[in-house]
Amino acid sequence: MDSKARFRAFVGLVVVVLAGGVVYIVATMNAGVDVEWTLVSAAIVVSMALVAIALVRKEREDLKRGFPKDDERSRAIRMRAGYLAFFISLYFLFGMSGVQTLLEDRQIASLPTAEWGMIYVAAMGSIFLAVHAYLNRKGVPG
């Protein structure tokens, strides 16, 4: 797949994800689910949209200047960041289960399992972004 096709696929994916987010927010508002959760979802979708717009603009600019969307170095960074994020998030998962056990032992109300799952996914994504940014600045070891 060439750079332009990859860019179009990326834009398509961004649009689908954001549209899914908007549909979810509208559906929760219509269903009368608690307002706080709808506001949190809206904030997440808006921040995702802002990051996506910035990324798409940068990619478009790079493509116009004749640079590819990615190359062997950016692929190496992505692979290493994914691998490290997976292992670091496993420790996070152990930590989370420890916290949940503590809360249960002390009979403090804990979050539902689905929300723990969402926290885990958000943490994994954040760890990936942080490791990616670090490797992008410091370089990947050969």
Partner 1 sequence: MRTRIKELRARYDLTQEDLARKIGVRRETILFIENGKYIPSLKLAHDIAKVLKSSVDELFIFEKD
Binding site for partner 1 (CB under 8 A): 62, 65-68, 70-74, 76, 136, 138-140, 142
The phi and psi torsions of 112 (rounded to 5 degrees) equal -65, 155
Q: Which is nearer to partner 1, 61 or 104 (CB)?
A: 61
| For partner 1, the closer CB: 45 or 59 | 59
Nearest to 55 by CA among 3, 4, 6, 14: 14
Please name which of 52, 130, 47 lies closest in space to residue 89, comparing C-alpha atoms. Answer: 130
Residue 54 and residue 2 in contact, taking contact as beta carbons nearer than 8 Å: no
Q: Please report how close the Cβ of residue 72 comes to partner 1 at its closest, in angstroms.
A: 6
Find the shortest distance in angstroms from Cβ 64 to partner 1: 12
Beta carbon nearer to partner 1, 2 or 34: 2
What's the closest the beta carbon of residue 142 comes to partner 1, in angstroms? Answer: 3
Rg (C-alpha) for the chain, rounded Å, is: 19
Structural tokens at position 41? 């979802």
Query: Which tokens go with 126?
Result: 């954040």
- Nearer to partner 1 among residue 32 and residue 142 (C-beta): 142
Q: Least distance from C-beta 73 to partner 1, angstroms? A: 4
